[in-house]
Amino acid sequence: MLVLFGWVKEAKEIASALSCHCYRCQRKRAWEHWKETEWVSFFMIKTIPFLSKSYVVCSACRESVLLNREQVALLEVEAKLPRLAAFLEEHQLSQKTEVQRNFLLAQREQNQSRE
């Protein structure tokens, strides 16, 4: 008897997440909440959800940031969204050098004064 096992990865948008500055786009963007689930499949049918990860994704440049469980919980309370925005800023800037960071922050100031 032939038994067919497999592995299926599925990603879908759950909802819009928040609106805050994206340092890749250098402007305020809407971020989306995406969930990626890995399934064990049996005869090509998704059977057991094995692993699930949440991301927020910039609606313009598609930069995606992996969230932990506490950060996903922040998404559910409007008043806690600024904490998530602070995490996103921290995350995006953490990959930059000091010089790049200062440049991006200065550019953000400049853009905001123009808006």
Minimal distance in Å, beta carbon 3 to Zn ion?
44
What is the residue type of 112?
A: Q
x/- letters, 4..33, toward Zn ion (CB under 5 A): ------------------x-xx--------
How many C-alpha atoms does 57 have within 13 Å on its Cβ side?
Answer: 17
- Which string of DSSP letters, residue by residue, matches 16-27? EEEEEEETTTTE
CA distance 115 to 111: 6
**Contacts (CB under 5 A) with Zn ion, residues 40-69:** 58, 60-61, 63
CB of 19 to Zn ion, least distance (A): 12
Residues that bind Zn ion (CB under 5 A): 22, 24-25, 58, 60-61, 63
